[in-house]
């Protein structure tokens, strides 16, 4: 009678599996030994980028001007702008009649002052015409047309009985003026026109 016991067949299968497993275990052990004794792994590119310090940028020599080459011509130093000269005063044209009275009982003395481009003209009879025309060029018609400042206090002083008057035209502007020596303000006005009226008190 033929035996049907499966145990001998199963034992043979287990023995065959053990024989096949031995080479695999040996291969695994060999690979493990190689990996432990081999050189350390090289860091990949990402690890290198993280570990490497960022290099400092090289100084830009182009931003700092260096000395000019010995053969190159040097730029001339910047010169200061010339100081503006005082513009010459405009020449004055005037034709005036000047009357000076020494006191109330005296007859007035009259002069004609003609200025053409700031110099005495042929009609002038004034004894100090050159200085008188220079004064008119300096003060102009505005001296005669300006309104007196009512807020100015005039000193109470008296410099003499002289009076004077000026009528005519300066640079196309009609002018009329009267002068006396009865207080500080009037004396100051007269002194401004000494070249035209003469010194206060002069005969």
Gap between the Cα atoms of 125 and 110, Å rounded: 9
pLDDT tens, residue by residue, 133-168: 999 999 999 999 988 788 888 899 999 999 999 999
**Is 90 exceeded by the pLDDT of residue 195?**
yes
Rounded to the nearest 5°, which phi and psi values hold at 109? Answer: -105, 125
**Is 90 exceeded by the pLDDT of residue 107?**
yes
The Cα diameter of the chain in Å comes to 192
Burial of 66 (0-12, 13-18, 19+ CB in 10 A): exposed
Per-residue model confidence (pLDDT) at position 53: 47
Beta bridge partners of 2: none
Domains of the chain: 94-197 (3.30.350.10)
Confidence of residue 203 (pLDDT cuts 50, 70, 90): low
Per-residue model confidence (pLDDT) at position 147: 85
Per-residue model confidence (pLDDT) at position 177: 95
**Is 70 exceeded by the pLDDT of residue 5?**
no
In percent, the amount of the chain with pLDDT more than 70 equals 55
Q: Are 115 and 125 in contact (CB under 8 A)?
A: no
Gap between the Cα atoms of 165 and 96, Å rounded: 10
74 vs 81, more confident: 74
Compute CA distances 178 → 28, 95, 167, whole Å. Answer: 134, 17, 9
Burial of 163 (0-12, 13-18, 19+ CB in 10 A): buried
Q: Among 5-9, 80-84, 186-190, which is the least confidently predicted range?
A: 80-84
């Amino acid at each position: 009678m033929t035996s049907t016991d499966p145990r001998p067949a199963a034992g043979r299968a287990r023995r065959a599996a053990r024989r096949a497993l031995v080479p695999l275990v040996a291969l695994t052990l060999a690979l493990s030994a190689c990996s432990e004794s081999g050189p350390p792994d090289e860091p990949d590119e990402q690890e290198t980028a993280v570990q490497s310090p960022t290099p400092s940028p090289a100084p830009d020599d182009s931003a700092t001007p260096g000395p000019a080459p010995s053969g190159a011509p040097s730029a001339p130093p910047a010169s200061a702008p010339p100081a503006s000269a005082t513009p010459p005063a405009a020449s004055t044209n005037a034709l005036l009649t000047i009357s000076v009275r020494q006191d109330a009982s005296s007859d007035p003395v009259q002069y004609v002052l003609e200025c053409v481009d700031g110099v005495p003209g042929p009609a002038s009879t004034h004894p100090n015409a050159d200085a008188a025309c220079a004064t008119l060029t300096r003060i102009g018609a505005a001296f005669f047309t300006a309104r007196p400042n009512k807020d100015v206090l005039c000193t109470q002083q008296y410099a003499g009985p002289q009076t004077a008057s000026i009528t005519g035209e300066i640079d196309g502007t009609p002018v009329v003026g009267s002068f006396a020596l009865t207080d500080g303000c009037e004396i100051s006005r007269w002194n401004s026109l000494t070249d035209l009226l003469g010194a206060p008190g002069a005969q």
